Amino acid sequence: MMTRRLTAVGLPAALFVVLALVPLYAGVFDDRFVLLFATRILIFAIVAVSLDFILGYGEMVSFGHAAYIGLGAYAVGILAEHDVWAAWISFPLAMAVCALFALVTGAISLRTRGVYFIMITLAFGQMAYYTTTSLSAYGGDDGLTMWGRSELFGTGLFNGDTSFYYIVFGVLLASYLILKVMTRSRFGRVLEGAKQNEARMEAIGIDPYRYRLTAFVLAGTIAGLAGALMANQAEFVSPAYMSWHRSGELIVMVILGGMGHLHGAILGAIAYMVLEETLSGYTEHWRLIFGPLLILIVLYGKGGLLGAIRGR
């Protein structure tokens, strides 16, 4: 009981404290790489948290979640191409585009269940991917380079390594807290209840569809916000952001960390990115190692990192 309370509150708190201290570490050891790498990780962590919200709590195995990163990024990139740099325009727009895409594709996908849902979200993800590859005016296959970063009311906060890191950190923290609160609300109970027994939910008068769709749109919107950050971080957007491999990796992050806790997704994102970085340091063919590793994790590593920490 004690340890459960500790891991439920203490672990995420400790995690965020450590993450908040990264720029300090980078400053003391003059390690810019760590700061940039951590920024990238946290952006993925935002996406992974949003995916865990629908996957872990709502059992919606979305295999097209990377599409939102790309859509959010393209919204920012295309606006920049037209010389619109103001974040207060581009960020809400990125989120709105993603919300709309999630609303339309989710409304159709959620009419189906199980494996149909997996395949359909995958297919819609591919649709977004191929659509951007055919945007010849915006670089097509090659992507689009941004010649700068978004502007936040003339502050230039997006340009400093440390300030940008804290923006990303803030978005992650806010996303985590908002979603966490929601999972405990009446809304969250409906999501979790529908996952456990849909027939029971309907018999008490709750049709899970609208609630699932709401969660789906919310997750897409948050992932889109992360995409907008990603465009700024890389100063480049390309269709590769939304390849289905990326969607697969996002699911891996969630499972690797331990799904259905939200902070597990953050741990998973960190672990995945560090693993990728380390393995690819040894060999460019790191997938040769990671592929079998993933299979082993699926077969024998139930509960992910959080499961291991709890020492079940």
Single out the residue of 81, 293, 303, 307 in contact with other proteins (rule: CB under 8 A). Answer: 293
- Using the minimum distance from each CB to other proteins, give the nearer residue, 17 or 204: 204
Q: How far apart are CA 312 and CA 309, in angstroms?
A: 8
Site for other proteins in 95-114 (CB under 8 A): 105, 108, 111-114
Strand (E) or helix (H) holding 132: helix 114-133
Single out the residue of 78, 94, 231, 255 in contact with other proteins (rule: CB under 8 A). Answer: 255
- Using the minimum distance from each CB to other proteins, give the nearer residue, 252 or 266: 252
- Tell the smallest beta-carbon distance from residue 226 to other proteins (Å): 20
Residues 6+ apart with CB under 8 A from 307: 258, 301
265 neighbors 11 (Cβ within 8 angstroms): no
Single out the residue of 18, 86, 181, 274 in contact with other proteins (rule: CB under 8 A). Answer: 181
User: Is residue 1 at the binding interface for other proteins, with CB under 8 A as the rule?
Assistant: no
Q: How far apart are CA 139 and CA 201, in angstroms?
A: 48
With CB under 8 A as the contact rule, which of the stretches 44-52, 65-73, 145-153, 250-258 interacts with other proteins?
250-258
User: Is residue 81 at the binding interface for other proteins, with CB under 8 A as the rule?
Assistant: no
Residue 45 CA neighbour count, 13 Å, CB half: 32
With CB under 8 A as the contact rule, which of the stretches 36-44, 126-134, 145-153, 303-311 interacts with other proteins?
126-134
Q: Quick one: which of 159, 270, 265 has its CA closest to 222?
A: 265
Q: Quick one: which of 275, 271, 267 has its CA closest to 310?
A: 267
With CB under 8 A as the contact rule, which of the stretches 16-24, 25-33, 156-164, 199-207 interacts with other proteins?
199-207
